[in-house]
Amino acid sequence: MGKFDGKVAIVTGAGRMRGIGRSVALAFAQEGAGVTVTGTGRDPSTFPLDEREAGWRDVDSVAAEIQEMGRGALPLVVDVSRADDVQRMVDGTLERFGRIDFLVNNAAAPRMAAWAPLPELPPEAWQRVFDIKVTGTFLCTRAVSEVLVRQGQGGSIVNVISIEAKISRDQDVAYATASGALYTFTAKGGRSLASHGIRMNAVSPGVTDTSRNDALYGYPRDDKWQNRVRQIPIGRAATPEEPANLIAWLCSDEAHMIVGKCIEMDGGHAS
C-alpha cells in the first residue's frame, strides 16, 4: 500500500533523465499514484550524450519507468506558457485517470537562454523565462485548481522555484527574478486556495546535480562545478531525488498544516 494509492499527479518539466521532474514523477509512482508527465518535446539531437547513449525518449521513457512499477502513466508534450496546451494537459489527464489530486510546477526555461548582465539582457529572453516559469505556473495552477475545487476533495500543488532568487550573480537576472515572483505567488496562492482544502507550497532547490547545469559546468563536471560546490556549507550538491522526496512529502497528509510556504533545500548556501 502506498500513501498515494488511487491518486493522480501532474508533473511538468519531467522529461530529462537527470532531472528533478523525472525524480518527482517516480516518487509519486512509488507511492501508488498515476502520473501525467510533461515535457517540451525536445529534439533528440540536442539530448546530452548520456541520454543518447541510453536511448532516452524524454517523457516516454519516464512514462515507461512508471508503467514498469505497475502504475498508470500519461506522457504529453506541453508548452506550459500556452493556455490551450495547459487545458489539453488537464483534459487528457481527466480522460486517462478520471481525476487530479496533485500538481508539481517544475517546468522552467533553460538557464543559459537568458544568461547575461542586465545591460545586455535581450527583452525576448527575459520574457521567455517569465512566460514559462511564472505565467506557466499560473496557467497550470489555475486550470488544475479549477478541477480540484469542482472535485471537492482538496489537493496539493507544489511549485519548484530556485534559491537563485536569493543569491547574487550578475548574469542570472531573469531566472532569479522569476524565481522571486514564485515565492510571492506561492504565499498568496496558498492563502487563496486553502479554504477549498487545496494546499499550495513550494520547494526551492539550491545547487542540484541535474542536466540543466551541463551548459554551465559541463558533463562530466569541470573545475567550475567544484568551485560552486565548495560554496555550499554542507559540502555537496543535492541529488534530484532529494527535492523530489520533499515534494512528495509536501503533498502527503503528514504535511497537511503546511500552506503557502517555501522550503529551501540548499545546504545552507543562501542562509
Amino acid present at 238:
A
C-alpha cell at 167: 543569491
Question: Quick one: pLDDT at residue 51?
Answer: 98
Question: Quick one: pLDDT at residue 47?
Answer: 96
| R_g of the chain, CA atoms, integer Å | 18
The list of the chain residues with pLDDT below 50 reads none
**Cβ atoms of 270 and 176 closer than 8 Å:** no
CB neighbour burial string for 140-164, b if at least 16 within 10 angstroms, e if fewer: bbebbbebbbebeeebbbbbbbbbb
Is-above-0.75 flag for pTM?
A: yes
Any idea which residues carry the catalytic annotation?
Answer: 175
The CATH fold of domain 8-265? Rossmann fold (3.40.50)
